[in-house]
Structure 1
Amino acid sequence: MMGMTTSQNRQPKGITTGGQFAPDTHAESTLLLDTTRDVVISPGESESFQELADGDVIESLNVNRSDDGAGYWISPAKTVNLKVLITDADPRLHGDTLDSWFEKNGAVIEDFLATRYEADITAEEGWDEVGIECSAQLPDGPLTEAQIVDAAWNRTKVVQLHNESDHGSFGSENLGRLLVERVEGSTVLDDPYTARAAGLRVKPDELTAMVNDHSGISDVAAVAIAKDLGSLRNARGVIAYPAIGRLASRGYLDSAAADLELQKAATENWQSFTPDRQLARRIDAMRSWMRNGGIS
C-alpha cells in the first residue's frame, strides 16, 4: 500500500525468532503508519501519541518540542513490576524483607535504571509499578508519525528495557539479577536521609576529631569526608572523585569505583610536594568504613 510502512524489526542477529528463552517475539513494532502525515507541535509544548504505542513494549508515547524549537524529545514509556523481578532473582527477598531492601536501596536502583536506559524514573506508585520513560532527541524540522515511532523503537532504550525486564527474552540480561548485583556492589548508608543531613553540616574541626577517634568513623563522618573529596577538581576543572561524592549526594557508593578513587586520591596525595596527613587519615578512615559497613 502506498504511503504505508512498518517500523524496523528489532529481532537481533544470530537469535532465532522468539528469542533464546522467550516463546514468541516481543521487541518489534507491528504498527501500520502513514508516512505522509505531518505532526505539528509548537515550541515548549508536548503531545501524547497513545495511538502509536503498541501497549506492550511501549505503553505510552509522548513528544516534547524544546522551548527554543531546536528539536524534539521522543519519550516512550512502560511500567515495570520490580518486586516480582527482584524476588525471582533472589527468592530470599520477599514480603517485609523485600520492602526494607527497596527502602534502603532506592537511590541505587533509581540511578541504575536512569543510567542504563537513559530514562526518567517514577516510583511514587510503589516498586511494583515503576514508570520508566526513555528518551531520544530528534533535530528540528518536519516531523511525521513514522519518524516518531522509528525514534521510539530504534533510538531509545525502551526495547532493551522490555527485553531485560521480560526474563531474558532474546537472550538478553535479566533486569532483576542486574539490580541485585548492583545493590550487592554498593555501600549504602543505613539511614541515608538522617546521615546525609547531618554529614553535610559537619565542620572541618569536627570532622578532624571524628577521624582521629580510632574507634572508627560513623556514617555521618563518611558523608562529610565524601563531601570534601567529592568537591575536589583536577587541573582541567573536572570533579576528581565523583564516585566518592555520590555518598554525599545520593547516600551510597559504587564500592569498586569508590575504592579505585580512594587509591588514586591516596597516591596523588603522597606524590604531591607537600602531602596532607589529615587527608591521608580521612582516606584511610573511609576505606575502613567501606570494609566494615560503617558504624551507625
Structure 2
Amino acid sequence: MSTVDPSTVDLTVPKNRGRAAWALADCWNIVRRGLTHYQRQPVNIVWQLGFPILSVLLYGYVFGSAMKVPGGGDYKDFLMPGMFVMTMAFGFINTATLVVYDSTKGVIDRFRSMPMASSAVVAGRGVTDLIAACAELTILMLTAVAMGWRPDGGFGFLLAFGLLLWLRFALIWLGVWLGLLVPNPEAAGGLFAVAFPLTMISSIFVAPQLMPDWLGFVATWNPISSTAAATRELFGTPVGSGDGWVEQHALLMSGLWPVILTAIFLPLAVRRFQKLGR
C-alpha cells in the first residue's frame, strides 16, 4: 500500500477566487444573516409598516376631507406617494437601530476579527435593507390600492419605484453612520425625534405653496420633497408643484439628492467603521 509524504501535501488555501469575489461572498453571507432574522422575527417588518399604514388611514380618512390639493384632485391620490417616501425616509432609523445593536453586542467586533472583507459588513447591511424596503413598498402599495389609489402603470410606475429605493439607498449610509455613533439601541430610537420634523416639513402631507413662505422654502429644498413630487408625477397623481426651480425639476433633483447624500454619508460610515476598536 502506498503512502503519501506529508511534506508534499499542499495545505494552502486555494486562490482561485479574486479579492472581489471573496468580498461578494462575504457580503452575501451578511445578507443571508439579515434575512434570516426577518424570517424568524417577521414582527420586525410588521412593526416597521405599522406607523405608515396607520398614517395612511389617519390622514386619508380622518383629515383627508379637510386637506386641499393645489389644482384640485383627491387628497388620497396626493397623499399615497408621499407616504411611500416617508416609509423610505424613516427606514434609516431601523438601519441605525440594527447597526448599534450589532455593535453593542460585539457582533461587529467578531466580524472584524474574522478573515472577511471589512466592506462586506457595511455593504451587506445596505443590501439587506434594500430587500426589506422592497417588501415594505409592495405591502404599502397594496394597502393603498385597497383604499382606492390607482396609479398609472408602465415605465413611469417602475421608475417611481426605483426612485423610492434610490432615496432609501442613500439614507442607509446615514443610518449606518448614526448606528456606529450612538451608544445603545435606546438612543437610536430617539432618532425618531429628528426624522419626524424632517418628514413633516416637506411636501409629503401638504404642498409647500400652502405653507408660510419661509416654511415653504425650507420644505421645497428638503430632499424628500423632490422624491415625493417626482413620484406623484410618475404615478400620474396630482403634483401640486410650485413655480420654483427645484419644484419644476423634481425628477432631476430626486435623482441628484441621493447622490449628494451618499457622497456625504457613505465615506463617513466607512471611516467610522474603520475606527472601531482603535
When normalised by structure 1's length, the TM-score is 0.25
Larger radius of gyration: 1
Determine which structure has greater relative contact order: mean sequence separation of CA pairs < 8 Å that are 6+ residues apart, divided by chain length. Answer: 2
When normalised by structure 2's length, the TM-score is 0.26
Which structure is higher in strand share? 1
